[in-house]
Amino acid sequence: MIETSPSFDIFITETSRLDQVDFDHLEFGRVFSDHMFLMEYEDGEWQRGRIEPYGPFTMSPASMVFHYGQAIFEGMKAYRQGNGEVSLFRPGMNIARFNKSAVRMCMPEVPEDLFMEALAALVKLDSNWVPGGSEAALYIRPFMIATDAYVGVQASKKYAFSIFTCPVNAYYKGPVRVKVETSFTRATPGGTGFAKAAGNYAGSLYPSMQAREEGYDQLIWTDAMEHKYIEECGTMNAMFVLNGTIISPETSDTVLDGVTRNSVLTLAKDLGIPVEIRKFSITELQEGLESGALTEAFGAGTAATIKPMSEIGVNGKRYPLSDSDGWQIVPWLLRELDGNRRGEITDRFDWNIPV
C-alpha cells in the first residue's frame, strides 16, 4: 500500500511481524519493527525519501563506509504514555547532535524538519510496536553511511540515511560494575569523541572486552593526555554524588553531550539538588570512595537510562558501593525522569513530542 507525505513516500507492509514478537522477553536490539525510513544523497542533494518494510540493503563491496568508516548514528526512544499515546523524548537534541556528527565526518546534514517528520511518521506507523512496561520503550536508531563505490581516502559523494526502530526492555539487568581505565583511550582532543561516529565504538571494544574478563560490565574512560580525569562510562555519561552534590564531568570534544545527562542535570537543579559540572579526578573519586563521602554513582544514557554503579575499580582496588535501593538521589532522579518521559508527571520542560 502506498501513501504519500509532502516529503516522502510510504510503502506499508502487507505482512506485519508484530504477532511473532514475545514482548515479555525482548532482547535489547534484536527485534526490529515493521518499517524503516530510507533516503539517499547524491548529486549534491537529498533525494526523495521513503518509509518501506524493514529489510536488507544491497551495497557494492566498494562502498566507502566499509573501508574508511564514514558512518554516524543516533540513539533515542519513544515512550508509551500513561494515556496510551506515544511520545518522542527530546528528539530535537538528537537531530542536532546527528548533524553535528555529520559535519565532523564530512557528511551532509539532514534537514531538521525532514528528519523530525520522518521520525514522527515512522514511529506513528509502527506505534503498535511501542511496548508498555516500566523499563520498556521503542529504541530508535537513525544512521548515515557512505555509499559511493570508490577506493581512495576522501569524503564519499553518496550517502544513505536510514531510521529503524526496536521494541526494547532494560539494556542492563541490574546495576553495573565499572573499572576506571587508565591505559586505553576512547577519545582524544581534536578527535571525534563528541560525535556519534561508528569508529569510536569499534575502538572501545577491545578495552571493554578486557574489563569484562576482569569481571566488570563497563569501563570508565579517562582523559587521553594524563589519564587523570573521569570522562564517560561506556556509552553513558558518568555522574557521582559526593557529599550530597551531583558531580558531572564537563562535556568537551572528548565527551559526548548526552541527552540523558542534560535531562538529569536539568531535573536535579529544578528539584534543588546541588550540581557541579567540573573536572573530576580519579584521586578525588578514590578518596570519596575510601572516606564514604561518595555515596552514589551512576551512568546516564538513552539505552541504559540511569544505571547505578555497584562497584568501581580504581588503580587495582575494587570498591563496592552500598545497595542502590537505599540511595537517596538516584532513585529520585530516575522516578522524575521516567515519570516525565512516560507522561506520568507534568512535563514541565515540554520534552515529550507526541507522534
Ligand X SMILES: Cc1ncc(COP(=O)(O)O)c(C=O)c1O
Binding stretches for ligand X (CB under 6 A) = 75, 232, 235-237, 256, 258-261, 300-302
| Residue with the shortest CB distance to ligand X | 258
Q: How far apart are CA 57 and CA 143, in angstroms?
A: 13
Instruction: Kindly state the smallest distance separating residue 284's Cβ from ligand X, in Å.
Output: 21
Q: Which is nearer to ligand X, 99 or 237 (CB)?
A: 237
Q: Which is nearer to ligand X, 179 or 261 (CB)?
A: 261
* Sheet strands (E) in the chain: 2-4, 8-11, 35-42, 45-46, 49-53, 71-73, 76-80, 86-89, 137-146, 159-168, 176-180, 218-222, 230-233, 236-242, 245-248, 275-277, 294-301, 305-314, 317-320, 352-354
Q: 526512544: which residue's cell?
A: 77
Instruction: Kindly state the smallest distance separating residue 13's Cβ from ligand X, in Å.
Output: 29
Q: Which is nearer to ligand X, 35 or 196 (CB)?
A: 196
Q: Which is nearer to ligand X, 193 or 343 (CB)?
A: 193
| Residue 107 near residue 166, CB atoms below 8 Å | no
Q: How far apart are CA 304 and CA 307, in angstroms?
A: 6
Instruction: Kindly state the smallest distance separating residue 75's Cβ from ligand X, in Å.
Output: 5
Q: If DSSP codes are grouped into helix, strand and coil, which group holds residue 33?
A: coil
Q: How far apart are CA 220 and CA 250, in angstroms?
A: 15
Q: Which is nearer to ligand X, 110 or 264 (CB)?
A: 264
Instruction: Kindly state the smallest distance separating residue 21's Cβ from ligand X, in Å.
Output: 24
DSSP state of 129: G
Instruction: Kindly state the smallest distance separating residue 328's Cβ from ligand X, in Å.
Output: 22
Q: How far apart are CA 275 and CA 262, in angstroms?
A: 12
Q: Which is nearer to ligand X, 63 or 218 (CB)?
A: 218
Instruction: Kindly state the smallest distance separating residue 263's Cβ from ligand X, in Å.
Output: 8
Q: How far apart are CA 342 and CA 131, in angstroms?
A: 12
